[in-house]
């Protein structure tokens, strides 16, 4: 039953990865169409017999401009996704300040990882260290060449070998279940939307600060929509898209953390050791210097300090991590 459960989780994560790859582009393209439709609606205003402005939506025109922009949108997102997908390891390393180690540099952590990999019959991942006196760990990577387990120096200093084995087992289970591939896929797409929204916000701010003009057609006539209105419509659309991408990411069941806890407890053969480790980590989760909430979702426990600002608040609201106390309570039942 244990082995069937693992295979079921792997299949579920593979299916979710495919779903994410389909859902995120649909959300992006949907918001592009909505953006064009709103511009068309508010830009086509006519006065009725009573002098009131009546707006009309020209579906054919909207669809024409949508189909015209479709190759550019799809191509841009595809290139962005491909670059981010291939560069995710370097991106995460730069965000966390992690660096690789060898057995000679740290035989203790290397031997723990190697022994656990031999226990479950998986290939040895890379091992990274973050110079942080606080406690945390995460797994990352999309394939055998990039799978990595990262721990902080504080985690190694304050956890004994039993507790450290439980944490490493948890992270190795994420790799075995393909959780890391799933999370990185969501990180990239959420990053695309959040970047676009940030750019729109900055452009809107600059328009207010320096003064927004009126958009004009090719013949120099007033088109009826100010640049500020266009940017505001873009902000609403990107905010809606960002909200839906977070909901889609939330669809990555929190059960994956419980599964990783169970896998870690099984690998180290001591559920109470992992429970003890989670208690220590929750008191001082560390990695405060990581300002990217999307990368922070990889951590075994997400720091409370990440929950600041609108984007970080939304990320914490739709966090993929369950409550730590519940995780500990489940482990202590074994």
Active site residues: 171
Distance CA 334, CA 328 (A): 11
3-state SS of the chain is CHHHHHHHHHHHHHHHHHHHHHHHHHHHHHHHHHHHHHHHHHHCEEECCCCCEEECCCHHHHHHHHHHHHHHHHHHHHHHHHHHHHCHHHHHHHHHCCEECCCCCCHHHHHHHHHHHHHHCCCCCEEEEECCCCCCEEEECCCCCCCEEEEEHHHHHHCCHHHHHHHHHHHHHHHHCCHHHHHHHHHHHHHHHHHHHHHHHHHHHHHHHHCCCEEECCCCCEEEEEHHHHHHHHHHHHHHHHHHHHHHHHCCCCHHHHHHHHHHHHHHCCHHHHHHHHHHHHHCCCCCCCCCHHHHCCECCCCHHHCCCHHHHHHHHCCCCCCHHHHHHHHHCC
Distance CA 153, CA 173 (A): 21
Give φ, ψ of 63 to 5 degrees.
-65, -35
């Amino acid at each position: 039953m244990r082995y069937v459960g693992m295979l079921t989780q792997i299949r579920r994560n593979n299916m979710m990865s495919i779903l994410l790859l389909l859902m995120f582009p649909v959300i992006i393209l949907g918001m592009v169409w909505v953006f064009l439709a709103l511009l068309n609606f508010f830009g086509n205003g006519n006065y009725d017999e009573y002098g009131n402005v009546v707006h009309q939506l020209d579906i054919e025109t909207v669809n024409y401009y949508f189909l015209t922009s479709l190759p550019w949108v799809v191509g841009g997102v595809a290139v962005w996704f491909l670059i981010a997908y291939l560069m995710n390891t370097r991106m995460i390393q730069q965000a966390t300040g992690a660096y690789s180690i060898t057995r000679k540099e740290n035989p203790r952590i290397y031997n723990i990882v190697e022994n656990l990999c031999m226990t479950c019959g998986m290939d040895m991942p890379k091992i990274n260290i973050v110079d942080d006196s606080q406690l945390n760990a995460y797994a990352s990577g999309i394939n055998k060449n990039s799978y990595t387990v990262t721990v902080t120096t504080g985690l190694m200093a304050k956890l004994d070998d039993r507790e450290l084995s439980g944490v490493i087992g948890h992270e190795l289970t994420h790799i075995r279940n393909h959780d890391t591939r799933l999370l990185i896929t969501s990180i990239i797409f959420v990053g695309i939307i959040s970047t676009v929204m940030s750019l729109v916000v900055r452009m809107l701010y600059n328009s207010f600060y320096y003064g927004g003009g009126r958009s004009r057609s090719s013949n120099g006539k007033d088109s009826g929509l100010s640049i500020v209105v266009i940017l505001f419509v873009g902000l609403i659309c990107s905010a809606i898209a960002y909200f839906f991408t977070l909901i889609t990411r939330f669809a990555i069941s929190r059960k994956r953390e419980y599964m990783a806890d169970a896998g870690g407890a099984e690998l180290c053969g001591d559920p109470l050791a992992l429970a003890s480790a989670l208690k220590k980590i929750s008191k001082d989760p560390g990695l405060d210097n990581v300002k990217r909430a999307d990368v922070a979702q990889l951590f075994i426990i997400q720091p409370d300090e990440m929950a600041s600002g609108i984007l970080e608040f939304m990320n914490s609201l739709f966090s993929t991590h369950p409550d730590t106390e519940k995780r500990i309570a489940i482990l202590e039942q074994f």
